Structure 1
């Protein structure tokens, strides 16, 4: 049962952030006490191996009414951690953010102001990214351009896991059961009235990023596979290209042999046949992949539509 007296819930997934937790809580508490009457902060410990859970346990004992802690049995990943926090959140609106203080807590006040204006989803859009390498900035920009190009869902650029969701959006979100999650895409897929708040993303307060290159690649693949059939269709298109190319080569060979009496080596016909057969195989694989992708889309069990309001 939802506690109607809680105005705002803050969901914070974390992994090995013992040095940031208390500073983050102090800043959040200062901002939230000015902005709303009642709030809760939900920390989701995603299998930390340092003293993060001990720090969180201490905070919960000091502030049992406003601090809640979810501890995973192992590291399941940031996206499932966000989903777990949203499922437990009881506020009329929920803000998702990281624990590294790169996303400044004072921006939450602007989120709440936008929410009160009637926006159901409020994104934090990064106007600047301090303390990040050129490689990180370049790959992030490339990823967003690519996913926006191939996806059927409009996913905002320069948006991370720092946003506010109205209660009705959260209720729809927690009904989505898929395992390989790209939460930013799911939030965009649901629709609703969306607003943005521009902010400067700061350098980490302390510690190091937990997003290795391997995790970034896995995250990008989850996003692409969850919201686009483009890779499968590229295989089909390449197969069609090979078929057409092999037919053109065959026509050229026949013309040369018929009108120019040119001797054509036997291996040319063999190579062209292989090219044609390879194209057919790729086309068949792409078509089979399309059917499998549609089956996969059904197993995600996303609703066919989301109703915002009925009059």
Structure 2
């Protein structure tokens, strides 16, 4: 029989946390009102994460795992988990224990009250540096102002989603995925559960500043066309400034023939200014064109090297989304 709840946990080099993660999750799911499957997704880990996942699967049949053929990134790993859920409810959480498993029963309570998406909203970020807190604060509020849909502030991927929402997400063909944005876009009844975010249990943060910035840009470009309009506005402003400068230079040449303002320095500043505007506009346009290029290639979103714990995987997950993959029974 299919489980009632499905936990989706992407893992990348988390050998130091897997044991503690499993113990805390087991303590929670043993008290739930229905059966639960734990879906671990190995996102190309280079440590002992995959062997530990195999051990957990042999020890506890509720533990299933997918092993991606290489590191495809956190959002793709979450998508792989969503493609394979069998429960009526999917719960997405990180493996570093910054997302506390003890919050799951409270999220389920909200689902039982009729909410189809329950997202965890951070009230505090314990032991995080001021720079990370400040940039996250600014980004979430900027995204909320610019995005075409209302994306809640201070939320990550830690959430509960009803099966109906999961099916809609799985039907979306997008390749540059920003799960928390897609989760907002689909609609349905949504609510927040607030919590204080703990520091990592062990190991180093897997999201570097560059990766966080890339994810932020992806979220902004995927859910807003405002950057394109900004480049247009900047171009109009540059044209206005150029006209003003032309009038001033013409005036200075007549009124002050020997003025240094009509010399080479003015021309150089104007060239650099217009060049910067052009490069900025081309860069913004390139972000959107790059996403179009990724979409039209139509490659599989991910490839799997190993699957275990799924007695039956729907044909939709393998044939439509991943037509080049072997059937899971052939892999294992």
Which residue of the partner structure matches residue 23 of structure 1? 20
1:1-44 residue CA offsets vs partner (Å, 9 max, x unmatched): xx6x4211000001111122122122212212212221100000
Of 29, 33, 39, which residue of structure 2 is paired with 1:32? 29
Give distance in 2, aligned partners of 1:214 and 1:68.
Answer: 31
Q: Which runs of 5+ in 1 are unaligned?
A: 302-311
Query: Partner of 2:160: helix, strand, or coil?
Result: strand
Once the two structures are overlaid, the 10-residue window that deviates more, 96-105 or 23-32, is: 23-32
Aligned residues between the structures: 295
Runs of 4+ in 1 over 6 A off after TM superposition: 264-267, 287-292
Shift of 1:288: 11
Residue 229 (structure 1) shift: 2.4
* 1:137/1:161 CA distance change after superposition, 3 Å: same
Once residues 14 and 117 of structure 1 are traced to their aligned partners in structure 2, the CA distance between those partners, rounded to angstroms, is: 31
Distance (Å, rounded) in 1 between the aligned partners of 2:134 and 2:279: 36
Q: Is residue 43–residue 70 contact of structure 1 (8 Å, CA) maintained in 2? A: yes
| C-alpha distance 9-59 of structure 1, shift in aligned 2 (>3 A) | same
8 Å contact kept, 2:10–2:78 = yes
Task: Specify which structure has the bigger relative contact order, considering alpha-carbon pairs within 8 angstroms and separated by 6 or more residues.
Answer: 2
CA distance in 2: counterparts of 1:292 and 1:131, whole angstroms: 34
**8 A Cα contact 1:153 1:188, kept in partner:** yes
Mapping for residues 163-242 of structure 1, pairs under 5 Å: 163-242=159-238
CA–CA distance in 2 between the matches of 1:51 and 1:298? 36
The range that moved more, 142-151 or 116-125, is 142-151
Q: What residue in structure 2 maps to residue 305 of structure 1?
A: none
Q: Which moved more, 1:170-179 or 1:284-293?
A: 284-293
**Pick aligned residue for 1:8 from 5, 15, 22:** 5
Distance in 1 (alpha carbons) for counterparts of 2:81 and 2:100: 20
1:189-248 Cα distance to aligned partner (Å, 9 max, x none): 212111110111112222221112221222222222222223332222111111112222
Task: Give the structure 2 partner of residue 53 of structure 1.
Answer: 50
Alignment CA distance shift 1:290-1:46 (3 Å): closer
Q: Is the 8 A contact 2:252 2:262 kept in 1?
A: no
Q: What are the within-5 Å matches in structure 2 for residues 1-311 of structure 1? A: 5-64=2-61, 66-253=62-249, 262-263=256-257, 268=262, 275=270, 286=281, 293=288
On the 8 A contact 1:238/1:279 being kept in 2, the answer is: no
TM-score (normalised: structure 1): 0.83
- Relative to the length of structure 2, the TM-score reads 0.78
Q: How far 1:156 moved relative to its partner?
A: 1.0
